[in-house]
Amino acid sequence: MLYLLDTADLDAIRHCNEFYPLAGVTTNPSILARSGGDFWQTLLAIREIIGAEKALHVQTRGVTAQQMVQEGLLLKEKLGGEFYLKIPVCEEGLKATMELKKLGIGVTVTAVFTPAQALMAAKAGADFVAPYVNRLDSIGADGAQVVADIVEEFAVHGLPTKVLAASFKNVQQVHNCALTGCQSVTVTADILKALISHPMTDKAMAGFDADWSAAFGDKTILEL
């Protein structure tokens, strides 16, 4: 399972990159608009924080396949490293995906809501498809089931495309997706932190601390 961070908040990226086994960062136009900074400065700063080996997914704003391909080439040239152009699933997007794959540029087909969309994206050569779990759950559909169906579909057809489950609002949704065998998830910093939080863990740690202090004061093992 790869954990990616779905944000352009540099402080959050710095923190999570230091303390969690992060595989990369994903952004989209809404996330970058919310962050409010300069487009290139923000993306270059993210690359500097995560380094060249971790994945950076940036969404195209192109409407035609040609624009998407041009944006993909420019973004790859400027951001370097492990880079994926996010392309919404649509006809122009599929054409761009096929062309970008010939040019050796990574592609994540995004805004995926059905296994049929995912299969077409995979056949076009997408490296990842990103189904939106919470957006499905919030219209009464079953986001994790859609992810499970996509995972199975790719396995049945022997396709190398990976599933990057996205759009999460709680830990349970991430857990449900992890059980499907999906290869990766992208989550906010709050959800990443919530994934390791438990009041019983806090209580256990406080108990160990109190017992140790009673016996050894504030000395660490290194000081004994």
Residue ranges that bind ligand E4P, judged by CB under 6 A: 6, 26, 28, 110, 130, 132, 134-135, 166-167, 186
Q: By C-beta, is 32 or 105 nearer to ligand E4P?
A: 32
Q: By C-beta, is 111 or 119 nearer to ligand E4P?
A: 111
Burial 46-71 (b: 16+ CB within 10 A, else e): bbebbeeebbbbbbbebeebeebbeb
Token duo for residue 49: 């924080």
Please tell me the total number of residues recorded for the chain in this structure: 224
Q: By C-beta, is 62 or 200 nearer to ligand E4P?
A: 62
In the complex, least distance from residue 64 CB atom to ligand E4P, rounded to whole angstroms: 21
In the complex, least distance from residue 35 CB atom to ligand E4P, rounded to whole angstroms: 13
**By three-state DSSP, how is residue 144 classified?**
helix
- Is 86 catalytic? The answer is yes
> Which member of 76, 86, 193, 203 is catalytic?
86
Residues 6+ apart with CB under 8 A from 145: none
The amino acid sitting at 29 is P
Q: By C-beta, is 161 or 186 nearer to ligand E4P?
A: 186
Q: Which of 70, 69, 63 is nearest to 29 (CA)?
A: 63
The catalytic residues are 86
